[in-house]
A and B are shown apart, each in its own frame.
Chain A
Amino acid sequence: MAADTTALTASDTHAATGHSSGGIGNPVLGMLLFITSEVMFFAGLFAAYFSIRANYTETINGVVVHHWPPQALEDILNPFRLFTPEGYLNVVLPATIMLVLSSFTCQFAVNAIKHDNRTSFIRNMSVTLVLGIAFLLLQLFDYSVLIREGLTISNTTFGTTYYTLTGFHFAHVFGGVLMLGVVLYRGMAGQFSSRHHDMVEASSLYWHFVDIVWVLLFSILYLL
């Protein structure tokens, strides 16, 4: 292109660097907007779930009733039983507690790096990552239990919505684990400080988001 590189006066530095002054950082704003789109994605799936749930009926003792979750699944889905009816370990509640805890440790890590406390940052971020991976493993184990208990994606509408909702949540946790892994790696390389931690903050927002989605999922699938 024709124009030469020229000297810029200080008032032109905007044109040279594109740095905006003050306010929320570009990566953090970008992440908030991305989370907005993710909220809408899950809103579509939740809408489908509630629509199907509202129209669900089954016949119990010769009477057509609205009973959700389907009666046959009620014991399998009780999160407060230590063992499922077939005698497998029920890990959904521990997994939930782990994911909720990891949101706190993640925020501790963000607060630590804001105060330039790198040891605490790395320690808390490592714990977050371990809790996240543990959640994924427990979730996989739980799927294997549910399939052995007879809940599949194709045998009931409950199964279809259950596996779709939790499956996409699983994929999002997996993405979050990758993201936090990069944050931890870069943190251990000393790339973050109290002045430079936009990526840490953006990743933590995403992690809080997947945590909140799980709390909602746990509530509507297991409790309500």
Chain B
Amino acid sequence: MATTTLNPAAPAYRSTLYEWLTTTDHKKIGIMYLINSMIFFVAGGLLALVVRIQLVVPKSADVMGGFVTPEFYNQAFTMHASFMLFLFIIPILAGFGNYAVPLQLGAPDMAFPRINALSLWLLPLGGLLMASGFLVSGGSAAAGWTEYPPLSQQLGTGTDLWIMGLVLIGTSSILGAINFLVTIFKMRAPGLTLFRMPVLTWTVLVTSVLVLMATPVLTSALIMLFIDRNYGGHFFDPANGGNAILYQNVFWFYSHPAVYIMVLPAMGIISEVLPVFSRKPLFGYKAFVFATVGIGALGFSVWAHHMFTTGAVFLPFFSLMTFLIAVPTGVKMFNWIATMWRGQLQFSTPLLYAVGFLSMFLIGGLNGAFSAAVPVDFALHDTYWVVAHIHYVLFGGSVFAVFAGIYYWFPKMTGRMLGEGLGKVQFVLMFIGFNLTFFPMHQLGLAGMPRRIADYASAAGWNELNMAATVGGFIIALSVLPFFWNVLVSLRNGKVAGDDPWEANTLEWATSSPPPPYNFDHLPEIRSERPVFDARHGRTAAH
């Protein structure tokens, strides 16, 4: 058999820093995605604490002289959401995709490595541009992360910086999506058919299609807002023939698919973790794939359920489509539970987070279904019920999946295991803190507390629940400390992982930990969606 020899020229000496700053290696880029996202996670978390301290008691202006001004309070919740959505959840999931997808496909890198580097570096640039609003007079964007006109047209330069930053972040997402799609369609190893792809890769595929179709529409909404603000345009200005609801339509045409962009890869991570730690294959692989595609497709037909109370949308259609989303989601929930059913569960930290995901995401799904009913939505719109819902799906869902993914792939990325003890401490603290913060918000919403208010009357009956939410917020903040300590300690002294510490299924575990720059010396034969399992058990027969 003919042999080819890889014989790269000896590289000139470069410092490690230079190497990381200029790399086009998808693994390093993926890890930098994670680090960048974690920085904004901390920044967004601190802003959330500002919000929670402000609301800890009623009439905080009298009690503690107003912890922050109402103006800064508006900036705090606006930038909290903007950081968490656009600079933490979306990029960190893209980071997992960046790290894992080429490995899971048996490919040496992404299809366009330099564009991949561009996608990464646009993120801190866009993030800093957005955050620089805090330095200008008038402060950062403050009209809420949705930036509805007319309010967003009346605030200061911070809003322009927010728009410019978000356009850059969107461009990063679009370029990343193109890269993922070409990689997935063109770079799969021999034998790796579409229906043998790992589920994480499938979810990244569907997510990339959503990004490709939805994010440019956000860009157009932002650009129109920018033109209205700076060049005297009248897109959203009813006084001059414009239409303020138009912004909401265009914005949510992106931002509803965006919630699936924020949760589908998280579901992919859960679907990687559950089979491995249940010692069983994923139940109903194909049903899971079709459910993912179904959620992605339905995701484009429900945007106006954010706008029921505008009176400008066709309620029965959007309500029905929203309820329909529960069907593919229910299929997934069933598959996950059936995967664990009678499995040999190994309660390592990744599984704890995965089970945390299942239970919390279930609550988030159920309280979302309530709001899909039009009469209920009319009562709950813009109350804390909505805040509870978004956090149960995005924190209880996506963030728990992010930590499951970090504990799961950290050995592959670094060659060392994260400490299990600290991991479990972190999980317990975060689980308690999360529920203490966000469960009371359901009751606050039902009791009529509006979101985005800086103060409330002491007679409104919201005092104890707000106090509980603030205490919970600090427990969440406390819970990330063992995590960062764990990372620092484990990088130096963690248990050496070996190639495949979890006895997993997918191709990234067939190479060394960390993998070499070109990923694989040899690929195992691929005859099913679990090639590494097959190789471990000497099974190469068709699945």
Which residues of B approach A to under 8 Å, CB–CB? 1-8, 106-109, 111-112, 174, 177-179, 181-182, 185-187, 189-190, 212-217, 219-221, 223-224, 227-228, 231-235, 240-243, 246, 249-250, 253, 511-512, 514-523
Q: A10-B2, A45-B220, A157-B241 are in contact. Are A37 and B178 (CB under 8 A)?
A: yes
Q: Known A20-B187, A26-B182, A26-B186; judge A160-B227 contact (CB<8 A).
A: yes
- A residues near B (Cβ < 8 Å) are 1-3, 5-18, 20, 23, 26, 29-30, 33-34, 36-38, 40-45, 47-48, 51-52, 55-56, 152-154, 156-157, 160-161, 164, 168
Contacts of B5 in A (CB 8 A): 5, 7-8
What are 29 pairs between A and B in contact, CB < 8 Å? A1-B512, A1-B514, A1-B516, A2-B514, A2-B516, A7-B5, A9-B2, A9-B3, A12-B521, A14-B189, A15-B108, A15-B521, A16-B6, A29-B182, A30-B178, A37-B174, A40-B212, A40-B213, A40-B216, A40-B217, A41-B216, A41-B219, A47-B246, A48-B250, A51-B249, A153-B227, A157-B241, A160-B227, A168-B223
Q: Give the residue of A3, A44, A52 whose beta carbon is less than 8 angstroms from that of B216.
A: A44
A42–B219 Cα gap in the complex (Å)? 10
Is A30 in contact with B224, judged by CB distance below 8 angstroms? no
Find out whether the CB atom of A34 lies under 8 angstroms from the CB atom of B223. Answer: no
Report the minimum CB–CB distance from A152 to chain B (whole Å).
8
Contact B213 A14 (CB under 8 A): no
A160 to B5, CA, bound (A): 60
**With a CB–CB cut-off of 8 A, which chain A residues contact B186?**
20, 23, 26, 29
Q: A75 → chain B, closest Cβ, in Å?
A: 21
Question: Given that A1-B515, A13-B4 are known contacts, is A157 also in contact with B234, CB under 8 Å in the complex?
Answer: yes
- B521 and chain A: residue at smallest CB distance: A6
> Complex formed: what's the CA distance from A3 to B515 in Å?
8
- Please state if B215 and A37 are interface contacts (CB–CB under 8 Å): yes
For residue A187, give the distance in angstroms from its CB to the closest CB of chain B. 22
Rounded to whole Å, the gap between the CB of B167 and the closest CB of chain A is 11
Is A1 touching B243 in the complex (CB atoms < 8 A)? no
Contact status of A15 and B520, CB under 8 A, knowing A153-B233, A156-B241: yes
Report whether B217 and A41 are in contact in the complex, using a CB–CB cutoff of 8 Å: yes
Contacts A52-B235, A154-B233 given: A3-B516 contact, CB under 8 Å? yes
Residues of chain B with a CB closer than 8 A to A17's CB: 108
> Residue among A11, A14, A55, A153 with the most chain B CB within 10 A?
A14
Contacts of B108 in A (CB 8 A): 15-18
Given the complex, which residues of A lie within 8 Å of B234, measured CB to CB? 154, 156-157, 160
Known: A14-B190, A18-B109; 11 extra A-B contacts, CB below 8 A, are A12-B520, A17-B108, A33-B178, A37-B174, A37-B178, A37-B212, A42-B220, A44-B253, A48-B246, A160-B228, A168-B223
Q: Tell whether A164 pairs with B182 under 8 Å between CB atoms, given A26-B112, A48-B246.
A: no
